[in-house]
Amino acid sequence: MKFDTPATTNPIDQGKVVGKPADRIDGLLKTTGTAPYAYERHDVAANPAYGWVIGAGIGKGRIRSMDLEAARQAPGVLAIVTAQSAGALGKGRMNTAKLLGGPEVDHYHQAVAVVVAETFEQARAAAQLVKVDYERAAGRFDLAKAKDDAAKPDDMFDGSADSSVGDFAGAFAAAPVQVDSTYTTPDQTHAMMEPHATIAAWNGDQLTVWTSNQMVDWSRGDLAATLKIPKEKVRLVSPFIGGGFGGKLFVRSDAVLAALGARATGRPVKVTLQRALMINNTTHRPATIQRVRLGANRDGTLTAIAHESWSGDLPEGKPDSAVHQTRMLYAGANRLTTTRLATLDLPEANAMRAPGEATGHMALEAAMDELAEKLGMDPVQLRIRNDTQVVPDHSPPKDDPQGRNAQAASGQSRAAGQPFSQRQLVRCLQLGAERFGWNRRNAKPGQVRDGRWLVGMGVAAAYRGAPTTKSAARVRLDRRGMVTVETDMTDIGTGSYTIIGQTAAEMLGVPLNSVFVRLGDSEFPVSSGSGGQWGAASSTAGVYAACVKLREAVARKLGLDPAAAVFADGQVRAGSRRVALRDAAAQGDLAGEDAMEFGDLSKKTQQSTFGAHFVEVGVDAFTAEVRVRRMLAVCAAGRILNPKTARSQVIGAMTMGVGSALMEELAVDRRLGLFVNHDLASYEVPVHADIPHQDVIFLDETDPMATPLKAKGVGELGICGVSAAIANAIHNATGVRVRDYPVTLDKLLRPRMQAG
């Protein structure tokens, strides 16, 4: 099915199941510990061996030699696989660094060997006996030092690293009110609970991997390319994922080494990456340096906007897309954005929840707050003053989400002046201000006290694109009236099982408990996969298409006119005839399979999601300890398919925004090229005690230009702007403006100590 005309009235609009706050249908499995996660699959591969991955002990250089003899003689050891013994390997198109290094070492903790033994403990113990002799080379580990040598990317994910409209330099110089500030954001890690983990088993030349992965088809292809075997020889199964946030978009070394270990031993092999390797071996959000310049008239009208960003990655890597939302959020006749990429030898950088926008908002929305202060203008009103209903900047095409890099997901090709399909940013700001009690905010910093706490409020706008990509599904009806949905879509904790089940239930007129959803298997039709805020809208559209096919098959089987058939309450009716749905499958199952392919509607209007974040913080007047007191997000993201699961996604994103604002930072050892705090003890993330009252409001919105369900994604919008809102609230509480994230107490105390 092709979606090339705006959606009109269809069965989804009934709203009997879709749009309702249904409990997650996989919730019972997860709360009872029976959901089959990758490493815990005891039902799929008998007598598995265990692999322990050895990561490189240098950040750059080469391996002179590896002494494996003592490890080979250790109890229980079955095989040791290195780059030398593995033979020629390829590299997947989604991978920047080789997943098995040697003799060259590209980054710290790059996998250089896997020890396979009868038990996990034996593999771990034997791995300590492997002696690796390295020749260390000088590496580039400091973004600030590499900034001046950063280059304009040749292979930019959005088609162009730079954009320019009007005369920015002239307009900025003439602007009566100016802001020129530089902000930095640190390297961050996904810190998901479930590690990267895989069980691999060969049956002749057929490989099956049970793994934790967000994008089944991408990773199936990349695993095949790495092992240099045909894609059809690989089956990838990933029905449950314990968190991903972009860190499991791509095949990683656990899957490759499990497959190589299984081939070497002739047995199934289980491999999980230890936490240190999850942080240094897999992908992370790269650090950025961002300069934002804003020029405005005294009434707050923006006349000049510039946003420049620098980030780093390994050779052949991609930059962070921090400037993208600045091309979309505010009006302004004279504009400039640039992106520069430095070559670094740190572990591989790539997508993490809302890649680009998460970091870009941290600068842009803080700069807007600085401008409001200089103008003596309310920050909410400043944003409203500069709203636009058309794209204000050039936004060159981002690759299809099925392309090389997951950061491609946040937008589509745009020219200045193109209308947004829906844009309710002003309503988000107004409603949020009303509900949050923004009128009680004291505009003068440092004036509100609650005992020893200085109290402040902050606001930020939120933008995230609403991409869609081709997605397929198969829907089957059996004689009991049960509906089974199969698609290789994944559920990374986002509620995919539930919204897919709701879509099928609505389309076929059955209750949700009559739908059984099967996900995450490469033997199922290829879906969009989970990531980039495209998963929910795309995958449910694919299920819609398959259900249309099944409805046609059912109607024909029952002798009804497919165009007139109504599916409701477990029945199909047309005219005066009413027939039980299950009767259509009395003589055998009926199935419908189709894909939703998206036409050029996304080229006619800019499809995006918008929001506003409001935060109140308390800052200890003596210690500068920061406590978030309450948070509100207002989101405009098309039809909300399930308000309960969508709310969970948004408050989870808000929580990640708290981490980015106040604590999350990978500490770089700039001598040796590693992230020092590579565990969950020293890499701090928010816990329950850090998160007080959170509220989420979804605007009543449908977008006929987006999908047949008139829905968009929302899971990444929830992090966009949160960190800036917190930083702005801290400034309102204390009068101290911190531009280097995270906002830790030492940075708040420094001005006081310097003054003293």
* DSSP letter assigned to residue 209: E
Q: Is 446 exposed, middle or buried (0-12, 13-18, 19+ CB in 10 A)?
A: middle
* DSSP letter assigned to residue 23: P
Other Cβ atoms within 10 Å of 643 Cβ, number: 14
Token reading at 29:
């499995």
Which residue in the block uniquely carries the two structure tokens 């005294």? Answer: 298
Least Cα distance to 468 among 380, 407, 528, 420 occurs for: 528
Q: How far apart are the first and last CA of the chain?
A: 69
Which residue in the block uniquely carries the two structure tokens 């098995």? Answer: 100
The dihedral over CA atoms of 615, 621, 624, 629, expressed in degrees to the nearest 10, equals -20
Q: Is the peptide bond before 742 cis (omega within 30 degrees of 0)?
A: yes
Q: Are strands 626-636 and 693-698 parallel, antiparallel or unpaired?
A: parallel
Sheet of 302-313: strands edge to edge? 163-165, 334-343, 302-313, 288-296, 177-185
Residue 142, classed as helix, strand or coil, is: coil
Angle between helices 535-557 and 496-508 (to 10 degrees): 30
Looking at residue 455, its amino acid is: V
Other Cβ atoms within 10 Å of 128 Cβ, number: 13
Residue 145, classed as helix, strand or coil, is: helix
Beta bridge partners of 136: 61
**Backbone angle region of 193, left / alpha / beta, with phi > 0 → left and psi within -120 to 50 → alpha:** alpha
CA distance 442 to 527: 50
Find out whether 426 and 373 touch, Cβ atoms under 8 Å: no
Find out whether 712 and 466 touch, Cβ atoms under 8 Å: yes
Decide if 616 is catalytic. no
Angle between helices 722-734 and 357-375 (to 10 degrees): 30
**Backbone angle region of 173, left / alpha / beta, with phi > 0 → left and psi within -120 to 50 → alpha:** alpha
Q: Are strands 334-343 and 111-117 parallel, antiparallel or unpaired?
A: unpaired
Token reading at 115:
């020890």
Looking at residue 23, its amino acid is: D
Q: Among residues 194, 348, 664, 716, which one is catalytic?
A: 716
Angstrom CA distances, 544 to 23, 455, 473, 552, 564, stand at: 21, 48, 9, 12, 18
Token reading at 195:
């590690």
CA–centroid distance for 692 within its chain: 24
Catalytic residues: 716
